[in-house]
A and B are shown apart, each in its own frame.
Chain A
Amino acid sequence: MTLAVDSLRIAYAGSAVVDGVSFSLPPSKCLGVVGESGSGKSQMGLALMGLLPATAETDGTVHIHGEALPDVARRDQLAMVFQDPQSAFCPHMRIADQVFEAMGGRDATAAAAFLKQAGLSNPEQVLAAYPHALSGGMRQRAMLAMALARTPSVIVADEPTTALDAEVQLALLKEFAAVKASGVSLILISHDMGVIAGLADDILVMQNGRAVEQGAAEAILRQPQHPYTRDLIAAATLKQAVPAQTQAGPVLIEGRGLTKRFPMPKAHPFARTHVKQALVDAAIEVRAGETLAIVGESGSGKSTLASLMLGLAPPSEGEVLWKGQHFTALPPQHQRRLRRHVQPVFQDPFASFDPQRTLGRSIQDMIDLHGTNHSVEALLASVNLSPDIAERYPHQASGGQNQRAALARALAADPEVLVCDEALSALDKTTQAQILALLQRIKEERGLAMLFISHDLDVVAAIADRIAVLKDGHMVETGPVQQIMQSPQSPYTQRLLAAQTVPDAAVMRAKITAS
């Protein structure tokens, strides 16, 4: 047995964040640790690495290769891969120096070998580079190489793929599979059952610091016992698309030939001006009662499109039309009056509200501005929030509560179109499910049209009537949701669908091998 953990407990000032977790990990096997924020899964990983702050009180035993884990400084047999490779690398040192630090020597050939093992085909170039010059996927592979350079028996990976696009994520999981096959044991920590499914031999489900279910991966995925496990699996499963019930109404807002260019800031006046093409000739229509989803990965231009459709920025070329009128051509007062009809819900629930105003006050601002006769309490109730939330400041409420309040604020204007810009991305999977259900209910009750922007196909499939796929600023494909999900035409869409994670072990293993 490589690693044996018995009754691990981590507490701060008496209150436990990890309480009584035990597991054992043989060589060449992977333990998937699943849970949402606050479950203690990251704390456990840090504890194994000896990276907990001095204020942590730990209890329980950890044995590696049969011996008790030595104190902090000498845990040579464990290495860690962190979530965000951009910030996890030292920005002013070359990759080579950082790998050398892990190796304990300056053998460039050996370093290159580790990078190759992690899936980098041009190790010398990567070694000579600084972290910011690499792409996200390459950086994460470099981080894996750095972990391998310690020739560990166990690698702890904490959300290693969360910051990556779907295809890159799949490719990285493949590297992890190869590492596992070479004899290293893996602890893969994630909030997403789908990510774990392809690699884990055993699964440990954590909630509020406790292990609520653990055992063989296949068994748990097929027949989860604990309700929380079931919730997590449900949250990771691709929702079945509901066929559109009503006939879509007239076009409310549309974009024609939308192009947006951003001049990049210059280092000095003599440098060439780089122009970033965020959107190129994009066209969309949002009809009454219909939900149009815009799907794309980071850098695809979907947020730019949202800004343009909300009238927050003018397009470099093309038009944005609201009920047939050119929005940007209208005089400012007219624009302001029309704005009530198209309201946003943004991604970061805590940044959506002025931190100096209570949630109730912010909602009241909307009511006052447009003279609608709603009451704050009624609006809060319609989004399942109790009236006392109105007295709270944004930082005093949870992400889910803030997002509901943002929805309430948007509804206070009686809009016809709701623009959700990655509105669920910053939330826990279970909270996502709740807000999604809420959005669907509101949409049906009020006959709202929605422009739903997301990188997450799972979420989109559940709520959209039509889907448009964006890649690098171009609209690659548009169509009804079933058509896109089941028989996509464009190769990019096909690849995107193929890269989606599902909580099914066999399916994921196949996807990983195929990537």
Chain B
Amino acid sequence: MPRAAFWIFMAVVILCFVGPFLLPFSAGQMDLLDTYAPPSLASGHLLGTDALGRDVLARVLEAGRVSLAVGFAATLASSLIGVFYGAVAGYRGGTTDQLMMRFVDVVYALPFMFFVIVLMVIVGRQVWLIFVAIAAVEWLTMARIVRGQTASLRQMDFIKAAHAMGLRDGVIIRRHIVPNLATPVVIFATLSVPQAVMIESFLSFLGLGVQEPLSSWGSMIQQGVADMEFAPWLLIAPAAAMVVTLVCLTVLGDAARDRLDKRAT
């Protein structure tokens, strides 16, 4: 199953980035004579058209670019923050560690999304704010995982041996701790991408995400909900695209965890 998931995901990515060039219609092309057309092979609109006569398939693919790009970029950012924070806390130990992780605990307990939403309402819809929003929520769990792994690595004999050898702390972290962190970090990062995509979609759904002319799956779903009673394909198309992508990513993340964990033990 993971292999199937991998190929499906690859197909999605390729379609999103290359597909629009191959389709007869572009995402922005409006056809006011053919609005709300249901999906049909004959008309060439495989997934129908929307309120402005734009081809839904083309729009879904283009929205996919935005959703995926934001998802991966935000995960990368949050992972870097989380890894750095967690490694420092785990390696230092003692009071530093306790304070740092207490902070994580407190923030974890907050309804962070709400503050983010309010912030976005106040400051306005900026793309960088979306990154900040997602990263701000995601880094916590990565920090926890990395801190746990670092703390347990620190107790291991080979780290003691490295100390006894005479290596300096910086070298030990770089050479021995970080490579041994790779496995859990990669696994969690893979599982974080779906989270990031979902948060972006959530924000877009609330009208706080990417602005026109950009659209993401979340904003398309929001528009789809409004018209769902008489034009259900407007909702189903982006929803299906998002669900398929997220399921594939989750399966891949699980498979990565199963494989890498066995080797590490």
Chain A residues with a Cβ under 8 A of chain B = 307, 310-312, 332, 335-340, 342-344, 346-348, 351-356, 362, 365-366, 369-370, 406, 409, 413
Contact = CB atoms under 8 A, between A and B. Distances in A.
A409 to B, nearest CB: 8
B160 A346 contact: yes
Contact of A346 (B157, B166, B180): B157
Given A356-B179, A356-B180, A344 B166 contact: no
B165 A366 contact: yes
Given A343-B165, A352-B157, A356-B180, 5 more contacts: A307-B160, A310-B164, A352-B158, A369-B166, A369-B167
B168 interface: yes
A172 B124 CA distance: 74
B41 interface: no
Contacts of B158: 351-355, 362
22 contacts: A311-B164, A312-B163, A337-B166, A338-B166, A339-B164, A340-B166, A346-B157, A348-B157, A351-B156, A351-B157, A352-B157, A353-B158, A354-B162, A354-B176, A354-B179, A354-B180, A356-B180, A362-B158, A365-B165, A365-B175, A369-B165, A369-B167
Contacts of A337: 166
Given A354-B176, A356-B179, A356-B180, A347 B157 contact: yes
Nearest to A356: B179
A339 B168 CA distance: 12
Contacts of B33: none
B264 interface: yes
A347 B180 CA distance: 21
Contacts of B110: none
Interface in B145-181: 156-158, 160-168, 175-176, 179-180
B160 A344 contact: yes
A311 B161 CA distance: 11
A472 to B, nearest CB: 23
A413 to B, nearest CB: 7
A369 B175 CA distance: 13
A307 B264 CA distance: 27
Contacts of B163: 312
A183 B180 CA distance: 55
A335 B167 CA distance: 10
A6 B163 CA distance: 55
A356 B175 CA distance: 10
B179 A344 contact: no
Nearest to A343: B164
Contacts of B165: 339-340, 343, 365-366, 369, 413
A335 B176 CA distance: 20
A284 to B, nearest CB: 18
Contacts, number: 62
Most buried by A among B165, B167, B176: B165
A346 B161 contact: yes
B175 to A, nearest CB: 8
Contacts of B161: 344, 346, 352-353, 406, 409
B57 to A, nearest CB: 46
B155 to A, nearest CB: 9
B262 to A, nearest CB: 11
Contacts of B167: 336, 365, 369
A261 to B, nearest CB: 15
A344 B164 contact: yes
Contacts of A344: 160-161, 164
Contacts of A348: 157
Given A354-B176, A354-B180, A312 B166 contact: no
A273 to B, nearest CB: 14
A302 to B, nearest CB: 15
A356 B158 CA distance: 11
A365 B180 CA distance: 17
B247 to A, nearest CB: 32
A209 to B, nearest CB: 26
Contacts of B162: 354
Given A346-B157, A348-B157, A355 B180 contact: yes
In the A-B complex, the 9 residue pairs with the smallest Cβ-Cβ separation, listed nearest first, are A339-B166, A336-B166, A351-B157, A346-B157, A356-B179, A352-B157, A354-B158, A344-B164, A354-B176
Contacts of B166: 335-340, 369-370
Contacts of A310: 160, 164
Interface string B223-265: 0000000000000000000000000000000000000000010
Contacts of B176: 354, 356
A310 B166 CA distance: 11
Contacts of A339: 164-166
B99 to A, nearest CB: 13
A237 B172 CA distance: 42
Contact of B160 (A312, A336, A342): A312
Contacts of B164: 310-312, 339, 342-344
Contact of A355 (B160, B168, B175, B264): B264
Interface string B182-194: 0000000000000
A175 B148 CA distance: 43
A356 B177 CA distance: 10
Nearest to B263: A395
A312 B172 CA distance: 14
Contacts of A355: 158, 180, 264
Contacts of B180: 354-356
A354 B176 CA distance: 7
A514 to B, nearest CB: 39
A288 B168 CA distance: 28
Contacts of A335: 166
A332 B179 CA distance: 25
Nearest to B265: A395
A312 B157 CA distance: 11
A332 B158 CA distance: 20
Nearest to A350: B157
B127 to A, nearest CB: 38
A355 B177 CA distance: 11
Contacts of A369: 165-167
A307 B159 CA distance: 13
A263 B208 CA distance: 50
Contacts of B264: 355
